[in-house]
Amino acid sequence: MERHSVHENPTGGQSANAHQSLTPQNVVAPQGPLITQGPPQLPPQMFTTAAQLLDLTDKKLVLVLRDGRKLIGVLRSWDQFANLVLQDTIERLYAGNLYADILRGLFIVRGENVLLLGEIDLDKEDEIPSTLKKAPFEEVFELKKKEDNERKLSDKTRHNKLQPHGFEPEHSGEVLF
């Protein structure tokens, strides 16, 4: 790919000032309709954040949100803030080696809550790893609550051990009501 300056002539010359020696007598008028060249086109990797969602529109995606939820759905719309509209959305809940799907339908996600986003390969979407087993929602939810409580207890124990050494846990300055 060649690099062109905005000030370059479409014919590849330097700038219009470099061709001042040409007089109107030396210039031959083009025959046929005059074709104007538009602004230079940027390669797709030059787009940032929300504009990159253009390629993902109408594709099945997996989203991981800041609160830890995992959503799977078809991206139907988005805006300049990367707010997303997902259709046929399911929330997948994991606990241990079990998982459960919760039908959510049409789902609107605020862009700042998206932690990770990726396209799902439709040829492999039905291939669930052999280590995971589908289970009823209630069973997975109870196991997830138990895991979360154990993690909180472990975090609190770690905090109590590190506090005398000057370490502060995350979110320790928040006021919880």
Residue 76: closest CA among 61, 60, 90, 57: 57
- 128: confidence class by pLDDT, cuts 50, 70, 90: confident
CA separation, residue 82 to residues 47, 78, 118, 159 (Å): 13, 6, 14, 36
Decide: 73 and 89 in contact? Cβ < 8 Å.
Answer: yes
3-class SS string, 41-109: CCCHHHCCHHHHHHHHCCCEEEEEECCCCEEEEEEEEECCCCCEEEEEEEEEEEECCEEEEEEEEEEEE
Question: What pLDDT is attached to residue 52?
Answer: 77
Q: How many Å apart are CA 71 and CA 73, to the nearest integer?
A: 7
**Residue whose token pair is 């939820």:** 69
Q: Identify which of 43-57, 105-119, 163-177 has the greatest average pLDDT.
A: 105-119
What is the mean predicted confidence (pLDDT) over 68-75? 94
Considering the chain, what percentage of its residues have pLDDT values greater than 90? 47
User: What number of CA atoms fall less than 13 Å from residue 107's CA on the CB side?
Assistant: 24
**Domains of the chain and any CATH numbers:** 49-157 (2.30.30.100)
